[in-house]
Amino acid sequence: MKDVSIGMFIAVFEEIFGAGLFWGMVAAAAAILLAFLYLIVRDHKLESRRFLRAELWAPVGALAAILFVQFWTNSGFTDIGGPIDVIVLILIGSAGAIGLTILAYVVPSLLSGRRSA
């Protein structure tokens, strides 16, 4: 394992989560990202008020992502062994925060439709 590649990361994540759950999460993330990009193109802007409200969900997303990964891998906070574990934990929390922020922006925007100027 001297070479780090995308294929290696995919194999590791498939081993951790199982192929079905991993690719389901990838598909869900891609769908949410495409919906977010659609809203940016449709509205020609990022609505600051909606985005600010969506950012309030970031801590919830960070905590949910960390707890989900710890549950799925049968790990606990006592299993954190070194600096790399802390870095991975921060990255997982950041991904959850960003993901839920984007989702919290997309859902109300799609449900309410386009606002007239």
Cα–Cα distance for residue pair 63/42, rounded to 1 Å: 31
Answer with the residue of higher pLDDT: 50 or 61: 61
Q: What is the pTM assigned to this prediction?
A: 0.79
Condensed to tens digits (0 to 9), the pLDDT of residues 77-94 reads 887 788 888 888 899 999
Angle at 98 between CA 84 and CA 35, to 5 degrees: 140
Cα–Cα distance for residue pair 26/45, rounded to 1 Å: 26
Residue 46's pLDDT is what? 83
Residue 115's pLDDT is what? 58
How many CB atoms sit inside 10 A of residue 107's CB? 13
Condensed to tens digits (0 to 9), the pLDDT of residues 15-58 reads 888 888 889 989 999 999 999 999 889 888 888 888 899 999 99
